[in-house]
Amino acid sequence: MFRFFENLVDPYTPYVETDTPPRKLWPFMRAYCEPFKGIFVLTAIMSIVVAAIEVGLIYYMGRIVDLLATDPTQLWANHGTELMLVAGFVLIVRPLFQGFDVALINNAILPNFGTLIRWRAHRQVLRQSVGWFENDFAGRIANRIMQTPPAAGEVVFQTFDAISYSLAYMIGAAVLLSTSDWRLMLPLLGWFVLYGALVKWTVTRVGPASQAASDARSQVTGRVVDAYTNIHSVKMFAHHDLEVDHAKEAIEYARQTFQKEMRIFTIMDVVLTVLNGVLILGVVGWALALWTWGEASVGVVAAAAALTLRLNAMTGWIMWALSSFFRELGVVAEGMETIAQPIALVDRADAEPLQLGRGEIEVRDLTHHYGRTQGGLQNVNLKIAPGERIGLVGRSGAGKSTLVKLLLRFYDAESGEVLIDGQNINCLTQDSLRRHIGMVQQDSSLLHRSVRENILYGRPDATEEEMIGAAKQAQAHEFILDLADPEGRTGYDARVGERGVKLSGGQRQRITLARVILKNAPILVLDEATSALDSEVEAAIQETLYGMMAGKTVIAIAHRLSTIAEMDRIIVLDQGQIVEEGTHDALLAQGGLYADFWSRQSGGFLKLDEVAEE
């Protein structure tokens, strides 16, 4: 039975991805609700039916009270069949309707709706550019992805479990009282007006207060995760107290926003208690007055009393449900600040896959300053022949990494173009471009998965033998066999920890190298690829790297100039422009900036006399 309801909607059903998600709340929610339209209509109908049954039972209780005033000896003779049918309805039919209603909400909607939002939101966020992620906290992004689906699910739950049910119940209550005596509707309608005013006052304040509180919680998560991610720096600089204070500032702000939200609920509760007292006195008191005047039966008084007491119990629940509804909408709105951001770096509608020929790279008048007035590149022109090995040298901030990021199209250049085999990379699909480029970065962070999964990330369809062969080429096989994690997994099955924290820098770098070796892309980018290795391992890896370079177009960034001295050509960047180029010997003979770098080296490292962020 459960599987029937659970399978009514597939949360992974195909859908059309959009680069510009709805930025307004209701269109945003409507886009995610599309697969559930039929289920939502059926659930709303069932909520109304269940409410009508509950009101009908109260009405029948009043009838039973009136029946008690008749001759007891004739009760079963005159009304026995009726009572048996009602008993059967209460024992069998009512639970079936109730069960169908809650199964739609609890089994068909809630698990699948939250899953659908989380799945689609994660897919949407992963499509964002590298630059987009660099401008936010990973912890805050993750927090919004995780808290938005349950909040949206709570909105749907309250819509059908409370709001539609309570509206149907209140309308049914008004109809019931009017059929008994129309004058009983007067105090109920007056209470409806006052109750509606309280609801409006509450919900107009709860939404913004909830969004502010949710944003504050995300800020706390961002700061806490930032400290945990950089725990080595925290410990190394002995800044425990500084991080505690940094987090406390955000935690205190979250407390203050939550306090403001809770003040609204306290006021709501007090006023609601007063209004419920008015409801009980108004309806029951009026029913008693009608009874004393001989214009209402005892059953009418009993039904009115039961109905008002039921409404009295429900009003708090309804108010909390409405408050929860708008509070969770505030959480969804806060999550939309991340999920609904448009995708800025997109493939063109007519984008084609990269058709790699010989691997020629050409840069024409390339300029990019990250929206600032300095840094990056300025009118760079460069042509790299197929199979040519290029070394990039320059001070920090000279534009080396910017050039590589633009080649990978992590950003769209502000002006100029990059071509691979004559194809403008802006006219290509991003995935096809990056599949043809292998890159080893200085920051060799790994996924918190097994060694095997990390290496196979380079080529998931590789065989076990190919994967181990790549590890051997990267001088990683032997130390991998000695690995063990706290769960008892060993060797290639051992997990490496978040960002590979359980491994040394050299071990992480060698696994990263193995991943790129396995990928075997025709264009190779090395960004300080051996910076984390000791001299003995570096010597062995250098031989591997030069073997990897055979037949590939290579761009290698290095401060350790000895690692690129054998390159076919060395490009020297300074202040975003190419100032020198040539072979190692030719550049030394020029006596320019490269020769100056070389003369300043100590142990093969470039001493930077200008430090700036790139």
Percent of the chain with pLDDT over 70: 92
CATH 1.10.1330.10 fits 16-339, yes or no: no
State yes or no: pLDDT of 311 exceeds 90: no
pLDDT the model gives residue 604:
47
CATH number of 352-436+560-614: 3.40.50.300
Residue of 216 and 60 predicted with greater confidence: 216
Q: Which two structure tokens, joined as six digits, stand for 201?
A: 């006052």
Task: Among 112-116, 468-472, 502-506, 587-591, name the one with the lowest average pLDDT.
Answer: 502-506
Tell me how far the alpha carbon of residue 429 is from its chain's centroid: 24
End-to-end, the C-alpha distance of the chain in Å comes to 60
Question: Is 409 in contact with 363 (CB distance < 8 Å)?
Answer: no
Look over the chain and give the mean of its residue pLDDT values, rounded to a whole number: 84
CA pair distance 502, 487, nearest whole angstrom: 13
State yes or no: pLDDT of 605 exceeds 60: no
CA pair distance 174, 61, nearest whole angstrom: 16
Q: Which two structure tokens, joined as six digits, stand for 585?
A: 């010997």
pLDDT the model gives residue 181:
67
Cβ contacts of 385 within 8 Å, gap of 6 or more: 360, 553
Measured from the Cβ of residue 315, the count of other Cβ atoms closer than 10 Å reads: 21
CA pair distance 217, 142, nearest whole angstrom: 12
Interval 471-497 mean pLDDT = 89
Question: Is 382 in contact with 578 (CB distance < 8 Å)?
Answer: yes
pLDDT the model gives residue 300:
73
Interval 214-234 mean pLDDT = 82
Q: Taking the CA atoms of 304, 306, 311 and 316 in sequence, report the sign of the dihedral they define.
A: positive
Q: Which two structure tokens, joined as six digits, stand for 538?
A: 């570096």
Residues in a beta bridge with 367: 415
CA pair distance 481, 461, nearest whole angstrom: 22
Q: How long a stretch of residues is the chain?
A: 614
- Most trustworthy range by pLDDT among 108-122, 131-145, 157-171, 505-519: 108-122
Return the DSSP state at 607.
P
Q: Where in the chain is the domain with CATH 3.40.50.300?
A: 352-436+560-614
Specify the amino acid at residue 71: D
Question: Is 219 in contact with 251 (CB distance < 8 Å)?
Answer: no
Cβ contacts of 309 within 8 Å, gap of 6 or more: 280
Task: Among 265-274, 535-544, 577-586, name the one with the lowest average pLDDT.
Answer: 535-544
Interval 220-228 mean pLDDT = 84
CA pair distance 514, 467, nearest whole angstrom: 8
Question: Is 370 in contact with 434 (CB distance < 8 Å)?
Answer: no
pLDDT the model gives residue 533:
60
CA pair distance 557, 574, nearest whole angstrom: 14
Percent of the chain with pLDDT over 90: 30
State yes or no: pLDDT of 298 exceeds 90: no
Interval 393-407 mean pLDDT = 89
pLDDT the model gives residue 180:
64
pLDDT the model gives residue 470:
92
Residue 284 — pLDDT band, cuts 50, 70, 90?
Answer: confident
Question: Is 58 in contact with 303 (CB distance < 8 Å)?
Answer: yes
Cβ contacts of 496 within 8 Å, gap of 6 or more: 446, 447, 448, 449, 450, 451, 454, 502, 503, 508, 511
CA pair distance 63, 233, nearest whole angstrom: 76
CA pair distance 160, 440, nearest whole angstrom: 53
Could you tell me whether strands 415-420 and 423-424 are parallel, antiparallel, or unpaired per DSSP bridges?
antiparallel
Residue of 405 and 52 predicted with greater confidence: 405
pLDDT the model gives residue 530:
66
Any idea which residue has 């208690």 for tokens?
A: 273
Nearest to 472 by CA among 573, 546, 524, 544: 544
Measured CA to CA in angstroms, residue 139 lies from 119, 169, 341, 342 at distances of 18, 43, 17, 20
Q: Where in the chain is the domain with CATH 1.20.1560.10?
A: 16-339
Backbone angles phi, psi at 470, to 5 degrees: -65, -40
Measured from the Cβ of residue 430, the count of other Cβ atoms closer than 10 Å reads: 19
Interval 334-362 mean pLDDT = 89
Could you tell me whether strands 415-420 and 377-384 are parallel, antiparallel, or unpaired per DSSP bridges?
unpaired
Nearest to 322 by CA among 264, 278, 282, 277: 264
Helices (H), 159-297: 164-180, 185-229, 231-236, 240-292
CA pair distance 522, 436, nearest whole angstrom: 6
Reported as a single tens digit per residue, the pLDDT across 2-59 is 889 999 999 999 998 888 888 888 888 888 899 999 999 999 888 888 888 877 887 7
Any idea which residue has 């990267």 for tokens?
A: 474
Nearest to 448 by CA among 395, 478, 394, 486: 486
Angle at which helices 185-229 and 164-180 cross, to 10°: 170
Q: What is the signed CA dihedral for 162, 166, 169, 171, rounded to 10 degrees?
A: -150
Cβ contacts of 600 within 8 Å, gap of 6 or more: 606, 607, 609
SS3 208: helix
State yes or no: pLDDT of 611 exceeds 50: no
Measured CA to CA in angstroms, residue 414 lies from 164, 353, 404, 434 at distances of 52, 23, 15, 20
Residue 532 — pLDDT band, cuts 50, 70, 90?
Answer: low
CA pair distance 232, 234, nearest whole angstrom: 5
pLDDT the model gives residue 316:
67
Question: Is 203 in contact with 326 (CB distance < 8 Å)?
Answer: yes
